[in-house]
């Protein structure tokens, strides 16, 4: 049985052109009325699609019409209904970030890739790291630190020399960015149930920002991170290009 499709695309000229071609061939309904959302673009647009339509809970099938496309399938105009019918589902559970700012405000945001803390000035950040209420690093001196999901472990986390995590591993990667002290600490792999707290030491002299995917909070003093228990999104992948296989391939790419 054919699925009702909601077609969405990035603003790039190629994505917009193929959007019109797909609409003519398969039609398109509003995301609220669809059985599946088809996203055309790159990984950045896919992340925006996941955030924008999170409340709907509809599966998302992406096709690459952007730069990287790690979270997307290859683009083909033909056989879209057949590809969706045989696609394999990967359930993604985002990170929940609660950031307390120096101004007294509290901001909550979700991240399907990572939550990152970064220094805002030339001064290195000084951050206390606690896991499940226990201080593990009294003072981390660094340019920043991030916590990545398995899906996000091949993005910013990998460029910061963090570990690649298999999908379904129920683990998180905590990776420092240009750490100075402790000298030998290069990060950790944590159970996904871990509650993480970052406290910014000397926030006035050494201000730090926190970012959950693309949602940034400036001048934070404390950031709490945990895996969300309320939200999930389902991504659909062609069997020959499923996300688990892609992450496995990344671990053997030299």
Sheet holding 125-131, edge to edge: 106-111, 95-101, 220-227, 196-201, 125-131, 134-142
Q: Which two tokens stand for residue 126?
A: 């000084």
- Catalytic residue list contains 43: yes
SS (H, E, C) 101-118: ECCCCEEEEEECCEEEEE
Q: How far apart are CA 249 and CA 90, in angstroms?
A: 17
User: From the candidates 43, 78, 219, 238, which is the catalytic residue?
Assistant: 43
Q: How far apart are CA 208 and CA 219, in angstroms?
A: 5
- Tell me the β-bridge partners of 63: 40, 73
With vertex at residue 223, the alpha carbon angle to CA 144 and CA 49, rounded to the nearest 5 degrees, is 85
The answer to whether the beta carbons of residues 73 and 57 sit under 8 Å apart is no
8-state DSSP, 123: S
- Give percent helix, percent strand, percent coil of the chain, each to the nearest 5: 20, 40, 40
- For β-strands 188-191 and 171-177, DSSP reports them as antiparallel
Name the 3-class secondary structure at 181.
strand
Active site (catalytic) residues = 43
């Amino acid at each position: 049985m054919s699925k009702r499709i909601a077609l969405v695309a990035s603003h790039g000229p190629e994505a917009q052109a193929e959007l019109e071609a797909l609409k003519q061939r398969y039609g398109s309904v509003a995301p609220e009325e669809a059985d599946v959302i088809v996203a055309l673009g790159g990984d950045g647009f896919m992340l925006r699609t996941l955030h924008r339509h999170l409340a709907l809970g509809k599966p998302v099938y992406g096709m690459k019409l952007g730069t990287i496309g790690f979270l997307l399938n290859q683009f083909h105009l033909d056989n879209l209904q057949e590809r969706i019918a045989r696609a394999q589902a990967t359930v993604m559970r985002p990170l929940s970030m609660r950031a307390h700012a120096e101004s007294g405000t509290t901001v909550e945001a979700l991240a399907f890739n990572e939550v990152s803390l970064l220094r805002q000035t030339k001064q290195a950040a000084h951050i206390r790291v606690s896991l499940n209420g226990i201080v593990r690093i009294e003072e981390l001196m660094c340019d920043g630190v991030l916590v990545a999901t398995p899906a996000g472990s091949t993005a910013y986390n990998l460029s910061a020399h963090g570990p690649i995590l298999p999908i379904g591993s129920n683990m998180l990667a905590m990776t420092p960015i240009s750490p100075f002290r402790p000298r030998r600490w290069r990060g950790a792999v944590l159970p996904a149930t871990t509650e993480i707290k970052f406290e910014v030491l000397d926030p006035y002299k050494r201000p730090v920002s926190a970012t959950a995917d693309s949602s940034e909070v400036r001048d934070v003093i404390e950031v709490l991170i945990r895996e969300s228990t309320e939200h999930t999104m389902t991504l659909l992948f062609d069997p020959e290009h499923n996300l688990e296989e892609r992450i496995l391939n990344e671990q053997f790419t030299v």
